[in-house]
Amino acid sequence: MKDSIDNPSEQTQPKRLRSEMRVFYGDSHESLLSGFSVDLSTGGLFLKTDSPLALDESLILRFKLSDESRVVSCQARVAWINEKENPRKPELPAGVGVQFVDMSLESMKMIKRFLEHNIIEPKW
């Protein structure tokens, strides 16, 4: 059995929780689309969407965690794409993996608390 010290990528992987919640996203606050997340971590989320988004595209994200009354709002970037045809990860629907880029400390703490205390399974 390998120790996580032997594999540095295991040490840097944030906890990822399967989580379905409505996410508003777009290039400006005036033109936000909506979709649903599939999973969430402190580093980002996977967004189920059929809307074409480009790799490294900058986005504004807004979403509410189920146990919070406040909305998380942050800058993000498209880190990878899971296409409908020839998916990179067949176990996931078509969509994009987004990385949080500019997030307040308070929003990060809200996500961390959510990940520590909740499990929400999507109904795909």
Digit-coded pLDDT (tens) for 32-87: 899 999 999 999 999 999 888 999 999 999 999 876 788 999 999 999 999 999 89
Q: Rounded CA gap, 41 and 66, in Å?
A: 15
CA nearest neighbour of 84 among 35, 49, 122: 49
Which of 115, 92, 100, 117 has its CA nearest to residue 36? 92
Q: Does 10 have pLDDT greater than 60?
A: no
Q: Where are the domains of the chain?
A: 24-117
CATH topology of domain 24-117: Thrombin, subunit H (2.40.10)
CA distances to 39, 97, 99, 123 from 57, in Å: 20, 11, 11, 28
Name the least confident of 9-18, 22-31, 43-52. Answer: 9-18
Mean pLDDT of 83-103: 94
Confidence at residue 67, expressed as pLDDT on a 0 to 100 scale = 67
Contact 15, 41 (CB under 8 A): yes
